[in-house]
Structure 1
């Protein structure tokens, strides 16, 4: 097998359970901070194999060709008296951001500085934090840490029009990265492509207004208005700021969505947030896309990847907390 699955007991004793594996699935989404690992193990009940110690506090580690893809706590174990199959699931260290709440107030500091402070407070290892150089302010009274981090970078994104993604490396360290504008990856061969376009969330006009309601200016997608009629969003521009970049980003994020679900041979680089070029002669679909979600499966000696692609580089514009009064 080209991968290793390691189970580490709470006391630190590690056991290679690769030979017991029937299926391993490693997956993630750009809307979720934590990546997931699930596995099905065949554990004979005849005593021919010592059962692994699947207890609370255990850790799962997945490696492939010497590179660590995943490390995280075991969250659930399912066994049956009528089956030798044991199902496991785990989340990476993003779980500690999702499951922990903090109380913070940041006034006029860059997101990267604020996030570094949060990570120090909660002993979260840091690989890299995207540098924005933009001052943001927000109050977070008892808000999940992952939402605080995403909100801080979303506030910066409103000012510079960039897109950011928070995730953990295979070694278990937080990284906040700017989503790429170009692709270094390419999918040349596929086993199946499903193509869907959708305008359910379409808004093709943004009215930039002052806090008293006066119209500053409209920002529009004229071709879309011609095809679909006007669907307008109101954006409040603060004193001394120009909301033009935020308005353009809103139109991009709420325009025509084209999603592809692509099944291909396994490639661990095909993870959420990355950009990829698709050249599929079978379906006739080609172009630059961004990965929204990914699922990697090892089964019966084969490795496959399934990715959901979007031709737009979407922002996570959900902002938690409240303005500082």
Structure 2
């Protein structure tokens, strides 16, 4: 326990713009220094009285954004900027509020699209800032290796970092917080530090209080799919005894996983307040030991909030304590990520590569075509940087080989397709984009998906020793370039899974750049329609007249897909014939459009399908009880195409 005196302290202010430093210790009447686990910054408040004839104080010219430092026992415990200066005429008092550098983290907003990045990588990137943001100095960052995909737009730097660590905490089962150490930021495992100080009712506790609350109880968890259909229900019997049934609903993610159900339950909240005499080591996020028989507070407790005060030369401390180790959980940003593309975009599978990264190596006919590598890397689920580096090896540094410049063959492909024009035995392609796509086609389908080859095995087949190639040198060079351009060592876990066919690759393509008749949200609605439809292939059953996603007929299925995207269309083919905007031909159709055609198998004489691109549709075509399927477009004697997104 410390007994700090005013002479143990120093409060120094540096006036904005003037360059002068002032020591205010002798004139302040009170000082408080405080923090919370729910705030990235600590706060310093101090007051002093300015006598009317006190010319010395008048000359200081204390103003907002001046800097101040606070020392206790010769140790600097606070450095920050004055945010507010409040003057009162009633007693000539001046009250000053200052925040440390953590306030920048709290206020400054960011725009990032993180794909398959670890929590610690996200934190380092956000601390560093971009586009003229302040580079915030970093000390220690707690391990956070869980991979996360999040888009943060207009989110504070603090919320972005804590969202990443909230996701990581679900896996690590630990708690985290941001701690400012004067001029640098640390991310620490909350509650790991146990202070040596003991708060004892007979020595340093003036008073304490204890509170129990069931205000936040959750004793039932419901897991649903994207359409709100029940998948699982779990009840906590012990928490059910605390209060009436209070439910939390969790949506199952696209990968079939839901967040930890047990973690969603919430029981009795127990908190306590303490006023006494501690020392400046007692900060939020740490653990302290208490012995107070009156309130029954005996054992280790976690500090949620702390306030240290010096009033009239007397030091005291106020603590808000918790029986449980909690963190400031955040859920900012969007789970969907966006990838660059020329004519469309494919759903990103998490490779972490950007078009800008690839464009730094592309030259010649491929210069500036990084967006196409991203597009086809996402469609064929193959690492686009790896494929670009294979092109670099095949074409040379300037990408100016004869095959590349004159035939758009960037991979040395001896194409077996009889419909492809040939130069000798090599494929001669009609455009840069076709040449890029053929490379992804062969690597993604033949090598990765069908034959399950790893990178070394792919290159050993692609550039075999039997053809006079230095295969091992080829492999070493590509891996070296990969680290140079991505900052990471190559790992086959980054290769991707490939796809089974061009049709599967096409199904991953989502049109970009169309707003639709309904306004600026068209792309998002279109994407949602396709995601829901894809998720139902092989599921559900044909039920004549049904309109739920799992029990529907052809018109009910497309009705449910649009409803999930927030779009209301008719529930029958006769109504859908007039919904949305007419599209003149199949050649102008985009994924998400309705194709309504003549059908002798239907009682109405009509059948509706959801177009997904490249001549493919998803539909509920019967007979009774059959699942939803993906197939090629089938057209009757007439066809109507409508766009409703």
> So what's the TM-score if we normalise by structure 2?
0.47
1:60-71 superposed matches below 5 A = 60-71=68-79
Residues 45 and 98 in structure 2, CA contact (< 8 A), matched pair in contact too: yes
Equivalent residue in structure 2 for 1:196, among 195, 201, 211: 211
Equivalent residue in structure 2 for 1:313, among 325, 329, 354: 325
Residues 9 and 55 in structure 1, CA contact (< 8 A), matched pair in contact too: yes
* Corresponding position of 1:6: 12
Residues 270 and 294 in structure 1, CA contact (< 8 A), matched pair in contact too: yes
**Structure 1 stretches of 4+ moved >6 Å:** none
- Are 1:296 and 2:308 counterparts? yes
| Secondary structure, aligned partner of 1:322 | coil
| Secondary structure, aligned partner of 1:321 | coil
* Corresponding position of 2:190: 179
Unaligned runs of 5+ in 1: none
Equivalent residue in structure 1 for 2:128, among 120, 127, 131: 120
* Corresponding position of 1:249: 263
Residues 159 and 243 in structure 1, CA contact (< 8 A), matched pair in contact too: no
Unaligned runs of 5+ in 2: 1-5, 338-645
* Corresponding position of 1:226: 241
1:47-66 superposed matches below 5 A = 47=54, 49-51=56-58, 52-66=60-74
* Corresponding position of 1:141: 153
Comparing 304-313 with 181-190, greater Cα deviation is found at 181-190
| Secondary structure, aligned partner of 1:83 | coil
* Corresponding position of 1:276: 288
Structure having the larger proportion of residues in strand: 1
Comparing 157-166 with 261-270, greater Cα deviation is found at 157-166
Q: Closer, same or farther in 2 for the Cα pair 1:135/1:205, shift >3 Å?
A: same
Equivalent residue in structure 2 for 1:73, among 78, 81, 84: 81
Give 1:39 shift.
0.5
- Are 1:238 and 2:253 counterparts? yes
Equivalent residue in structure 2 for 1:83, among 91, 100, 108: 91
| CA displacement, residues 250-296 of structure 1 (integer Å, 9 cap, x when unaligned) | 32xx2111110100103212211112221113433212221111111
* Corresponding position of 1:285: 297
* Corresponding position of 2:393: none
| Secondary structure, aligned partner of 1:38 | strand
Number of residue equivalences:
320
Give 1:308 shift.
0.7
CA RMSD of aligned residues (A): 2.2
- Distance in 2 (CA, whole Å) between partners of 1:168 and 1:241 is 38
- Distance in 1 (CA, whole Å) between partners of 2:221 and 2:288 is 30
Equivalent residue in structure 1 for 2:277, among 252, 262, 265: 265
| CA displacement, residues 218-256 of structure 1 (integer Å, 9 cap, x when unaligned) | 3x4322213424322222343557657x333332xx211
Give 1:7 shift.
0.6
Equivalent residue in structure 2 for 1:109, among 112, 117, 128: 117
Comparing 84-93 with 7-16, greater Cα deviation is found at 7-16
Q: Closer, same or farther in 2 for the Cα pair 1:161/1:80, shift >3 Å?
A: same
Q: Closer, same or farther in 2 for the Cα pair 1:183/1:317, shift >3 Å?
A: same
Residues 43 and 49 in structure 1, CA contact (< 8 A), matched pair in contact too: no
- Distance in 2 (CA, whole Å) between partners of 1:234 and 1:263 is 39
Residues 102 and 145 in structure 1, CA contact (< 8 A), matched pair in contact too: yes
Residues 94 and 168 in structure 1, CA contact (< 8 A), matched pair in contact too: yes
Residues 12 and 25 in structure 2, CA contact (< 8 A), matched pair in contact too: yes
Q: Closer, same or farther in 2 for the Cα pair 1:129/1:108, shift >3 Å?
A: same
- Are 1:215 and 2:228 counterparts? no
- Is the radius of gyration larger for structure 1 or structure 2? 2
| Secondary structure, aligned partner of 1:203 | coil
- Distance in 2 (CA, whole Å) between partners of 1:302 and 1:36 is 19
* Corresponding position of 1:16: 23
Residues 242 and 268 in structure 2, CA contact (< 8 A), matched pair in contact too: no
| Secondary structure, aligned partner of 1:238 | coil
- Distance in 2 (CA, whole Å) between partners of 1:308 and 1:206 is 30
| Secondary structure, aligned partner of 1:191 | strand
Structure having greater relative contact order (Cα 8 Å, sep ≥ 6): 1
- Distance in 1 (CA, whole Å) between partners of 2:191 and 2:294 is 27
| CA displacement, residues 206-227 of structure 1 (integer Å, 9 cap, x when unaligned) | 2344546453563x43222134
* Corresponding position of 1:161: 173
Give 1:205 shift.
2.7
- Distance in 1 (CA, whole Å) between partners of 2:64 and 2:241 is 58
> So what's the TM-score if we normalise by structure 1?
0.90
Equivalent residue in structure 2 for 1:130, among 131, 134, 142: 142
* Corresponding position of 2:556: none
| CA displacement, residues 81-106 of structure 1 (integer Å, 9 cap, x when unaligned) | 44332111111111111221111111
